[in-house]
Amino acid sequence: LSEVLEHEQDLPSRTPDGHDMALMVNTGLTVDAVASLKNRISGVGLYRTEVPFMITERFPGEQEQTRLYRDQLESFAPLPVVMRTLDIGGDKDLPYFPIEEANPFLGWRGIRVTLDHPEVLMVQLRAMLRASQGLDNLQVLLPMVTNVDEVDDALRLLDRAIIELGEEGVVARRPKVGVMIEVPATLYQLEALAQRADFFSVGTNDLTQYLLAVDRNNPRVAELYDTCHPAVLSAMARLADESRALDRPISVCGELAGDPAGALLLMGMGFDALSMNAPSLPRVRAAIRRVPHSAARELVTQTLALESPKAVRHHLATRFGEWQ
């Protein structure tokens, strides 16, 4: 990374025409390295709780989870930390909880697993609530939501966890709860979801996989897997517009947010925050600091008129080249 970019990292992620874009990080295991970025970010947009679960020999107990979550929350307080409930299944198996299915990405994944095992979700929610005592920066995110009932069921469990803890003398406030937008069905139920959720976070990795019917990990169809497919971008633009109309903040935590040209598009569409892996931050920040918000909006209009992923890629590369 050039010295110029490094120097910029302490400057705000503000466009030349004065638009501030909230940049957040995705975390999993290494809290220490990322915590040093605290002054350069707006918080943790996605803490993948399954990551620490992958290196243990059994489900970590409530105390152990409380320690893990406390570490995250404390490291970034007072900034918000969005903790996603366990998102196993698909390509993420726990050695001590094998799931064998013919179509794992269409199977028992994310909230489908944890609602079938409320004892697992309850321990996790209790640990999150315990960990946030006195900090108040916890937000909870539900992965792989397909139906509003799943949100209702998860909220009921959350309320039960709060009551249980209260009976044990631990006073916990209900954190903000968000829904991941990554199953295409949710695009058509945003209003119903907004009645239940405080915010949305788009998982462009899975949303792309499911909109295009292309396995995100299959090298044979890797060329077809393109987050810049016009259908994906059109869905994204619509999501940003609808969330604004519904008065719900919406962020992006999939890989598209960490791609500089992608980040400009998402900013132009009106997303409230972009959450990415820490190594992507410098280039995304640099792009935002160089490109006026008005130009990003123009980029969105131009790009949404294109009909093929190839044309989109070409256009983004050309425009982005001009700005560098």
Binding site for ligand PEP (CB under 6 A): 46, 48, 87, 182, 203-206, 253-254
Among the listed residues 50, 150, 206, 226, the single contact to Mg ion using CB under 5 A: 206
CB burial string 106-140: b at 16+ within 10 A, e below:
eeebbbbbbbeeeebbbbbbbbbbbbbbeeebbbb
178 makes contact, choosing from ligand PEP, Mg ion, none, with CB < 5 to 8 Å by partner type, with none
- Under the binding rule (CB under 5 A), the answer on residue 175 touching Mg ion is no
Which residue number, 182 or 259, has a Cβ lying nearer to ligand PEP? 182
Give min distance, CB of 300 to ligand PEP, in A: 20
Give min distance, CB of 7 to ligand PEP, in A: 30
Which residue number, 15 or 114, has a Cβ lying nearer to ligand PEP? 114
Which residue number, 170 or 185, has a Cβ lying nearer to ligand PEP? 185
89 makes contact, choosing from ligand PEP, Mg ion, none, with CB < 5 to 8 Å by partner type, with none
Give min distance, CB of 23 to Mg ion, in A: 20
- Under the binding rule (CB under 5 A), the answer on residue 178 touching Mg ion is no
204 makes contact, choosing from ligand PEP, Mg ion, none, with CB < 5 to 8 Å by partner type, with ligand PEP
Give min distance, CB of 252 to ligand PEP, in A: 8
Give min distance, CB of 321 to Mg ion, in A: 31
Which residue number, 158 or 236, has a Cβ lying nearer to ligand PEP? 236
Among the listed residues 175, 178, 203, 260, the single contact to Mg ion using CB under 5 A: 203
Which residue number, 40 or 216, has a Cβ lying nearer to Mg ion? 216
Which residue number, 161 or 178, has a Cβ lying nearer to ligand PEP? 178
Chain residues that interact with Mg ion, rule: CB under 5 A: 182, 203, 206
